[in-house]
C-alpha cells in the first residue's frame, strides 16, 4: 500500500463532523444582530470551529474519554490542568465539547486580562465566546446556565518548564468560590499531551527584561514555541463534583476543597499517563 493510500485510509477513519448542523444546535443567546451580551456570534463560531475541528481530529488526533460527564444543559464549571506555552489545551477542550457529546456545548474560557489589549485577539476571542477572566463575568455566565472553563493554575501552569510536566502548579481559590456561590457542578478534566507540545524552559531574566509574563525557549528552530509539536491529545472528563459550603469560608477550608479538586485531576492525569503508550500516537 502506497503512502497516499495509507493517508486516504487515515482520512476515512476520521468522522466527518457536521459543523454547520452542530453550530446550529449550539445554544448562543444572540440578539437581533446575532451577538450575545459578551459579543459571541454563531457566524464567527462556525468559522473558528472548522479550524478547531481540523486541529482536534487531524493535527492533535485527540481522543476524549468520559464524554458522558459533559452535561447537555445547565451551568457547569470545567476545571483542567494548563500547560504548553500556548493555550491549545483550551481550544482542544472547546472542540471536544463541541464535537463529542450528542448535544454540542459552547465552552467559554476565562482568558487573561491582557487579551483585550491585543489587536484582533481583542474582538476575535469575544466573537468565539471567550471572555475576560473576571469573577463577575463567570458569575453572569453560570447564572445564564452556560459552561465556563477555568485553568486554576493560570499563568503558572501554561508557562511551566518541561521538567515540571504533569505536576500541577498551585490552584487558585477563585474557581472554587464561584462554584460554591453559584452552586455549579465542577467537571474535572485531565489533559494529556499538551504538557509535551512545547518542551520549553522559561528564560526568566529575558521575560523580566521584556516585561512579558514568561519567555519560553524550545531546543529546536525557531526556538520559540510558536507551533506546537503534533502530540496526541487525550482528554479525560471526570464525574461532576458537587461542592457545598460557604464561599466566604476561611482560606484554610477553601484551600482544602481546592486541593481535593487538584488531587482529583492529578490522579486522573496519572491514570491517563499510564494508559498511553506514546506521546505522539
Helix (H) or strand (E) holding 236: strand 234-237
In the complex, the smallest distance separating the C-beta of residue 124 from another protein, rounded to whole angstroms, is: 9
Q: How would you classify the pairing of strands 147-150 and 107-111?
A: parallel
In the complex, the smallest distance separating the C-beta of residue 279 from another protein, rounded to whole angstroms, is: 36
Q: Which is nearer to another protein, 135 or 245 (CB)?
A: 135
Q: Which is nearer to another protein, 115 or 217 (CB)?
A: 115
- The 3-state DSSP composition of the chain as helix, strand, coil percent (nearest 5) reads 45, 15, 45
Q: Which is nearer to another protein, 34 or 74 (CB)?
A: 34
Q: Which is nearer to another protein, 15 or 135 (CB)?
A: 135
In the complex, the smallest distance separating the C-beta of residue 29 from another protein, rounded to whole angstroms, is: 11
Q: Which is nearer to another protein, 8 or 134 (CB)?
A: 134
In the complex, the smallest distance separating the C-beta of residue 218 from another protein, rounded to whole angstroms, is: 28
d(CA 243, CA 239): 13
d(CA 265, CA 238): 8
Q: Which is nearer to another protein, 115 or 207 (CB)?
A: 115
CA distances to 3, 83, 191, 195 from 165, rounded to whole Å, are: 34, 8, 11, 6
String of DSSP letters for 33-49: TSB-TTS-BHHHHHHHH
Q: H helices within 2-130, ranges in order?
A: 3-13, 19-25, 42-54, 88-99, 121-127
In the complex, the smallest distance separating the C-beta of residue 143 from another protein, rounded to whole angstroms, is: 11
Q: Among residues 52, 103, 49, which one has the least CA distance to residue 73?
A: 103
- By CB under 8 A, name the binding residues for another protein: 31-33, 35, 37-39, 113-123, 126, 131-132, 134-137, 140
HSE-up (13 A, CA, CB side) for residue 192: 26
In the complex, the smallest distance separating the C-beta of residue 132 from another protein, rounded to whole angstroms, is: 7
Amino acid at each position: 500500500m502506497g503512502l497516499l493510500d495509507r493517508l486516504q485510509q487515515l482520512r476515512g477513519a476520521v468522522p466527518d463532523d457536521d459543523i454547520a448542523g452542530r453550530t446550529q444546535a449550539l445554544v448562543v443567546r444572540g440578539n437581533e444582530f446575532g451577538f450575545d451580551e459578551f459579543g459571541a456570534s454563531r457566524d464567527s463560531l462556525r468559522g473558528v470551529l472548522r479550524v478547531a475541528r481540523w486541529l482536534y481530529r487531524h493535527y492533535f488526533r485527540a481522543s476524549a474519554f468520559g464524554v458522558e460527564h459533559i452535561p447537555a444543559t445547565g451551568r457547569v464549571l470545567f476545571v483542567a490542568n494548563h500547560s504548553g506555552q500556548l493555550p491549545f489545551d483550551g481550544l482542544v477542550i472547546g472542540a471536544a465539547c463541541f464535537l463529542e457529546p450528542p448535544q454540542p456545548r459552547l465552552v467559554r474560557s476565562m482568558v487573561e486580562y491582557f487579551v483585550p489589549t491585543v489587536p484582533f485577539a481583542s474582538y476575535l476571542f469575544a466573537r468565539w465566546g471567550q471572555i475576560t477572566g473576571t469573577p463577575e463575568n463567570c458569575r453572569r455566565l453560570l447564572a445564564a446556565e452556560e459552561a465556563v472553563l477555568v485553568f486554576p493554575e493560570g499563568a503558572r501552569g501554561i508557562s511551566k518548564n518541561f521538567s515540571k510536566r504533569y505536576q500541577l502548579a498551585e490552584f487558585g481559590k477563585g474557581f472554587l468560590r464561584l462554584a460554591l456561590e453559584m452552586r455549579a457542578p465542577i467537571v474535572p478534566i485531565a489533559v494529556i499531551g499538551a504538557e509535551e507540545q512545547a518542551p520549553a524552559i522559561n528564560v526568566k531574566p529575558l521575560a523580566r527584561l521584556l516585561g512579558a509574563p514568561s519567555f519560553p525557549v524550545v531546543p529546536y528552530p525557531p526556538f520559540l514555541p510558536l507551533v506546537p509539536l503534533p502530540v496526541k491529545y487525550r482528554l479525560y472528563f471526570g464525574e461532576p463534583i458537587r461542592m457545598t459550603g460557604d464561599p466566604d469560608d476561611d482560606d484554610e477550608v477553601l484551600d482544602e476543597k481546592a486541593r481535593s479538586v487538584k488531587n482529583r485531576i492529578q490522579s486522573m492525569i496519572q491514570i491517563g499517563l499510564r494508559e498511553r503508550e506514546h506521546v505522539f500516537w
